[in-house]
């Protein structure tokens, strides 16, 4: 009876909040959904880890004839992203059917990796895993500079994505990508990011808009083929809005010639 009353009380409360301030209500619902997704991921990881450790324990302790009878084999040990022993990971993404995420270390053969449209390496630091986009993984995996704002430093107050009739607040998931050199909000990044963090797969050629409010309450919407680049000059981190280009050579040239606007943060 208590859960029944709680359900109706929550439903009525949310309905009242939605009538008073729809945007705020949807924002809070997205926050709750993100929290529940994190809880689910943590629970699922703990379940798989216990299962793996149990199977490995049985394989190590039971006689071989019993393990063969029940088809028990050694399982690969699971590691959480926060595991300091597996500090660096790699993400590669071309499309929803061609993606890869794995841990790497200095002994890994580079042949296990592949050039993809979106490539990032993750480094665990300050209780977070920061991600840096790379154009070519050869020789860069363990030498790339990770420069990012301090934990108390804001870049954007709000980032909202419009997909059809949906408006999704995404800024709380973006802080780990505010690494100097990163270019954000191009299509391949958004396809991976929205699927990874919001379970929202973008349709082929589906249009989207990125609305931003920066720390100085400057509001703007990225135009088609515009991206945000995180940069640093004179020990100050800031962002630039630049034109997005596909090729590496053109992208390097655009840093100087195609900048639309910049803002210190």
- As a whole number of angstroms, the distance between CA 55 and CA 46 comes to 14
Tell me what pLDDT residue 75 has.
Answer: 73
Tell me what pLDDT residue 252 has.
Answer: 42
Tell me what pLDDT residue 259 has.
Answer: 44
Tell me what pLDDT residue 16 has.
Answer: 83
Kindly give the parts of the chain with pLDDT less than 50.
79-85, 247-260, 265
Nearest Cα to Cα of residue 174 among 188, 187, 160: 160
- As a whole number of angstroms, the distance between CA 182 and CA 194 comes to 17
Residue 187, strand partner residues: none
DSSP 8-class letter at 241: E
Asked whether the beta carbons of 154 and 143 are under 8 A apart, the reply is no
Tell me what pLDDT residue 82 has.
Answer: 46
- As a whole number of angstroms, the distance between CA 75 and CA 222 comes to 46
Tell me what pLDDT residue 102 has.
Answer: 77
Contacts of range 126-133, beta carbons closer than 8 Å, 24 or more positions apart: 126/151, 127/82, 128/175, 128/176, 129/81, 129/82, 129/89, 129/176, 130/176, 130/177, 130/179, 131/91, 131/176, 131/177, 131/179, 131/182, 132/179, 132/181, 132/182, 133/179, 133/181, 133/182, 133/183, 133/189
Six-digit token string for 173: 């998931």
Tell me what pLDDT residue 84 has.
Answer: 46
């Amino acid at each position: 009876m208590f859960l029944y009353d709680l359900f109706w009380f929550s439903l009525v409360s949310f309905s009242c909040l939605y009538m008073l301030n729809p945007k705020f209500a949807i924002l809070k619902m997205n926050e709750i959904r993100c929290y529940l997704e994190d809880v689910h991921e943590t629970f699922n990881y703990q379940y798989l880890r216990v299962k793996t450790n149990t199977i490995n324990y049985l394989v190590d302790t039971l006689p071989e004839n019993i393990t063969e009878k029940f088809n028990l084999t050694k399982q690969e040990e699971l590691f959480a992203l926060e595991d300091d022993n597996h500090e660096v990971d790699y993400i590669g993404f071309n499309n929803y059917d061609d993606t890869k995420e794995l841990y790497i270390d200095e002994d890994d053969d580079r042949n296990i990796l592949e050039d993809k449209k979106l490539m990032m390496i993750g480094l665990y630091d300050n209780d977070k895993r920061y991600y840096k986009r790379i154009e070519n993984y050869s020789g860069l995996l363990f030498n790339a500079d990770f420069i990012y704002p301090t934990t108390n430093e804001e870049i954007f107050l709000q980032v909202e994505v419009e997909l059809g009739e949906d408006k999704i607040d995404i800024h709380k998931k973006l802080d780990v990508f505010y690494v100097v050199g990163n270019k954000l909000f191009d299509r391949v990044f958004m396809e991976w990011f929205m699927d990874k963090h919001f379970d929202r797969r973008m349709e082929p050629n589906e249009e989207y808009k990125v609305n931003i409010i920066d720390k100085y309450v400057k509001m703007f919407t990225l135009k088609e083929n515009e991206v945000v680049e995180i940069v640093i000059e004179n020990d100050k981190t800031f962002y630039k809005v630049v034109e997005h280009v596909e090729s590496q050579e053109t992208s390097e040239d655009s840093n100087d010639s195609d900048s639309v606007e910049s803002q210190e943060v």
